[in-house]
Structure 1
Amino acid sequence: MTSEESSSTISPFDLLPDEIWLKIFAELSVATICLCRVVSKKWYNLSLDETLWQCYSSRLFEPGPLPPRTSSTLNSWEKFYRLQVNWQKGTATNVISFKAHDTKVIALKLRGNILVTGSNDNSLGVWNIKTGQLEKTIDVGADIICVDFIIHKDVIACGSYYGDFGCELFSLSTGETLGRFTEDQWIGTQCMDMNDEYIILGTFKGIIHVLLWEDGRKVALFHVHTNRVAGVRLLGGNTAMSVSSNGAIDIFNITTNELLHQYILSRTSINICAFDNNVDGRDILCIAPSGAMSHIRWEDLPPSSFSKGEGEDEKIRKIYSRDPIMIYQNNNVPDRVFCAGIDSKYNHGVIGSLVSFPPQGHLLIYPKVNAENVIIGNGIHEFNKIKMSDTAVFNILDIDDERVVAGCTRGWIYCFEFTVDQEKQEKSEKEEIEQVQNGSNSKLIQKYMSPSDNVLVNNTWPNENEEVINEKNLIKDLCSNNCSFKFNSDQEEEGEKKKIEQVQNENEEVTNEERLINDLYSNKIF
């Protein structure tokens, strides 16, 4: 057997079908999968398989079902997995910050890459959140307590607490005034929500106004609360929800002024209320002044509960006629809470808190990985925490699938992104692996090896429970784990051994044949 024949010998591992390899890979940790990428080209391609990363993603949401990938930027299951792990670990991959107002940011709303901010400097700002560029400034002439906007309708709505109006509308593209809603002795606006038809306003005195925003005509007026309205939400075509600071959650019909259902939280006071940003989301996060938080959700009824002739509002009536379920609860949130946001699609929740001394803002992300109901002591559940290096204090925030946007008391905006640039990482990773394997970049090799004796820096395997999020450290992990790239040379060495054994066997056969002839002659058989 020649050396060429031994080097071209097919390994028995190469005979296994890809389906078997994927089942084996599915039992390995993500860190190990990244190490397997440098073994061979076949393993590299298998480690990028979509079904493999879909399997890893499903484990993050157990025992519940795997939610769909709906964002246009989540074009692969590996990217989806890394995004969810970054969320669950509070690892922001990119932070964008810019000065938005001269005074503190009181209101903001994020839809896609468009961010609208409001401040008590009496102005609105329209921003491109990807670039941090100011698109437009609108002078309102009064303080702004809440904002909302609809891109395809080219409209921005803002509410004022101290101003002489309840709501004012502007064009998103031109900034011109479209309309204003006001009444005599107007009591300050607290919150708002809008859809293609209605706009709903909650006030400090517990009064709720519902308007047809295109013509400003009032269609409903509710005195369902005796306390400040903490939040309002439009549901379906003619149904609305309001949350009072006294802990009452009311569902009512806009056209008939009928109270459909009321739910009372165990806590009698609500300081902060955050609704789910998803159109079909039915989640509410309520936080009491004491720091107790409750994340509740109304679940879908089985399809058999609805008849064919029922409309959307009738379905909503049935869904909200039941009590909600508790998704997450914490009776003692650390520090002082200023703002909150939730995204029910992937069960993300973010709370903006303040450390009293020295004053410093934190973002608390829940639930922590595999610790949704784990109490670390004194009734405090564990959070993932994003700390700021300076004294920024978060006053308001909003959230979507991939980022958190927070406004500060000094007028700054911070955008924390959790997604990854998969194409860029794959290209960088592949180039580094090829350079190390070929030995073409001595600086890159020396970077991960001890300069004195070329001994690998670390000799310990990584924790298998630790997921590899940043693949820029892939080569470090490889070198620190004493990975060898002598796969082909090992095959050649084994082939040479087989060749020597074969020659020895052939010589042995010849020797035995000569002995047989000698024995024949010596015994005088002929």
Structure 2
Amino acid sequence: MQNEVAGILSRFKSLDREKRKVFLLSLVEECDPHEIFTLQQVLESKGLGRFDIIGALPPELAVKIFAFLSGKELCTCREVCKTWMNITNESTIWRLKCLELLYVNKGITAAQNLNIPKEGWKKLYQKQYRREINWNNGQVQTIKFLRDHTERVTDAKLKENILVTGSADRTVRIWNIETGECIRTLCGNSFSCVDFLIEEKIVAASTFFRASFIWNMETGDLIRELKGHVSAVRCISLSRSYVASCAFDGSLIVWNWKTGEKITTILAEATAIRIFNNTVLSHSNSSIKAFDILNGNCIFSTAFNEGQLGWSYVQNYLSSKSAEESTNEFPDQIVLSLNILNTLRNYSNSLHNFDTRRGRMVCASNQQSSDILQLILLNDTGRPKEIVYPKGTSTDILNKEIFRTLSIDHRRIIIGCLSGTIAILDFDEES
């Protein structure tokens, strides 16, 4: 390319400033982004290195070029000159940066539905970037405690700003964790597991006494009571049409939660399950299997000796895939996700949860004495980082607790304790 450009630029010096702009515009339009640097080098060799190619372009084209840069690179470019500073202040660029982060953290659907922030795109990106730095360094910014449960927290599910928890105190509670408010309390029996769907506005929970319940999240009305297991239910999972549960008796039962119809009963010996569209994925002591919901047939099976740590990673990995990505190609995806687990053997006896989009894990020792939270970056060969609590926080409260559940998303860690206390560790800096 250098020889080509050198020939074209042989007449460049004879052009006035306006003609140079037109000339460069036509030249840059034919360049790939990575070829801009080569163009700059050729100009320097012709004694024209001080000519600002980017600044000479129409603003909309300069913005498109700068949009290929990272946030850190944009901050460096804004120091070059006033023209570049004005370009890097364009909200279009920072909107794209925000969408990129949101896509990585929450998927394409969330990115498509992002509204214009009150603080502006640049401020929002700065907030997101600082949160990522805090996450990667284990620097918790705030800790909040929720204390309405009176006995141990047995399960917790976090989606967006809604947290649903089950407890041995015979209640399921729905929380808005932005405000810390318990917005709904659902009563029944001692609950072993929970799940919910925001889009369908339903909550499902199972008890140690073989029954499962479906409620309306907004009204608290009981939609359905489902029975069929002959021993305690150990895991429950919801989809838009179905609810699946597995029990200590080895059975996996799928219902249509809208009608109450029992679809199929499968002898799966499952310890945990996850439902995806028309397929339910189950984990036993030695294998992962996928079953077709409509006929109960096994459509995929693989030996699996990674234990609960591996299963936790696999089901988080599959559930993090966007709606536009297939969740039916189980063999390839499972093989891919298992490759990362070899470095995590030492944490198999800990409570753990994964932020699989970012390649991060949080684990906590499940000892009766002081629990230690650690942040592990799966693509990082360095030593795990202990979570650093904010100054002035009464961390002795957390240190005295025995952790029973652990849930995370791209910005928070949720800990359910034996006492019934729920701790929310947030990595967002306060405005």
TM-score normalised over the length of structure 2: 0.68
Q: Are the structure 2 counterparts of residues 235 and 336 from structure 1 closer, same or farther at C-alpha, using a change threshold of 3 Å?
A: closer
Which region of structure 1 is more displaced relative to structure 2, 248-257 or 328-337?
328-337
* Higher-Rg member (1/2): 1
The reply on whether 1:230 has 2:234 as its aligned counterpart is no
Select which of 239, 245, 268 maps to 1:201.
245
- The CA distance in 1 between the partners of 2:413 and 2:170, in whole Å, is 24
Q: CA deviation at 1:155?
A: 2.2
The reply on whether 1:104 has 2:145 as its aligned counterpart is no
Letter in 2 for 1:175: G
- In structure 2, the partner of 1:4 is none
- The CA distance in 1 between the partners of 2:260 and 2:202, in whole Å, is 13
Q: CA deviation at 1:51?
A: 4.5
- In structure 1, the partner of 2:346 is 333
- The CA distance in 1 between the partners of 2:91 and 2:417, in whole Å, is 42
- In structure 1, the partner of 2:297 is 258
The reply on whether 1:359 has 2:370 as its aligned counterpart is yes
- The CA distance in 2 between the partners of 1:207 and 1:155, in whole Å, is 24
The reply on whether 1:242 has 2:254 as its aligned counterpart is no
Residues 308 and 348, structure 2, Cα contact 8 Å, conserved in 1: no
Q: List per-residue Cα deviations over 1:4-57 (Å, max 9, x = no partner).
A: xxxxxxxx999982959x97x9699679859959x9797487378765897899
- The CA distance in 1 between the partners of 2:293 and 2:107, in whole Å, is 32
The reply on whether 1:146 has 2:193 as its aligned counterpart is yes
Q: List per-residue Cα deviations over 1:351-386 (Å, max 9, x = no partner).
A: 2334x474224143433xxxx252x6xxxxx32332
The reply on whether 1:394 has 2:403 as its aligned counterpart is yes
Q: State how 1:32-43 maps to structure 2 within 5 Å.
A: 33=76, 43=85
Residues 289 and 298, structure 2, Cα contact 8 Å, conserved in 1: yes
Q: Are the structure 2 counterparts of residues 232 and 275 from structure 1 closer, same or farther at C-alpha, using a change threshold of 3 Å?
A: farther
Letter in 2 for 1:263: T
Q: CA deviation at 1:224?
A: 2.6
- SS for the counterpart of 1:395 is strand
The reply on whether 1:214 has 2:258 as its aligned counterpart is yes
Q: Are the structure 2 counterparts of residues 32 and 410 from structure 1 closer, same or farther at C-alpha, using a change threshold of 3 Å?
A: same
Q: Are the structure 2 counterparts of residues 191 and 67 from structure 1 closer, same or farther at C-alpha, using a change threshold of 3 Å?
A: closer
Q: State how 1:18-33 maps to structure 2 within 5 Å.
A: 33=76
Residues 152 and 168, structure 2, Cα contact 8 Å, conserved in 1: yes
Q: State how 1:312-461 maps to structure 2 within 5 Å.
A: 317=328, 319-322=329-332, 324-325=335-336, 326-329=338-341, 330-333=343-346, 336-338=349-351, 340-354=352-366, 356=367, 358-367=369-378, 372=379, 374=381, 382-387=383-388, 389-390=395-396, 391=399, 392-420=401-429, 424=431
- The CA distance in 1 between the partners of 2:424 and 2:115, in whole Å, is 17
The reply on whether 1:46 has 2:100 as its aligned counterpart is no
- The CA distance in 2 between the partners of 1:334 and 1:97, in whole Å, is 26
- In structure 2, the partner of 1:270 is 308
Letter in 2 for 1:167: S
Q: List per-residue Cα deviations over 1:393-430 (Å, max 9, x = no partner).
A: 33112223332222122212122233456xx5xxxxxx
Residues 77 and 84, structure 2, Cα contact 8 Å, conserved in 1: no
- In structure 2, the partner of 1:72 is 114
Letter in 2 for 1:282: L
Which blocks of at least 5 consecutive residues in structure 2 are unaligned? 1-49, 390-394
- In structure 2, the partner of 1:467 is none
Q: List per-residue Cα deviations over 1:284-318 (Å, max 9, x = no partner).
A: 9xxxxxxxxxxxx9xx99xxxxxxxxxxxxx755x
Which blocks of at least 5 consecutive residues in structure 1 are unaligned? 1-11, 285-296, 302-314, 377-381, 425-526
- In structure 2, the partner of 1:169 is 214
Identity of counterpart residues, as a percentage? 20
Residues 362 and 373, structure 2, Cα contact 8 Å, conserved in 1: no
- The CA distance in 2 between the partners of 1:265 and 1:137, in whole Å, is 38
More helix as a share of residues: 2
TM-score normalised over the length of structure 1: 0.57
Q: CA deviation at 1:143?
A: 1.2
Q: Are the structure 2 counterparts of residues 92 and 331 from structure 1 closer, same or farther at C-alpha, using a change threshold of 3 Å?
A: closer
- In structure 2, the partner of 1:446 is none
The reply on whether 1:156 has 2:203 as its aligned counterpart is yes
- In structure 1, the partner of 2:47 is none
- SS for the counterpart of 1:274 is helix
Give the total of aligned pairs. Answer: 357
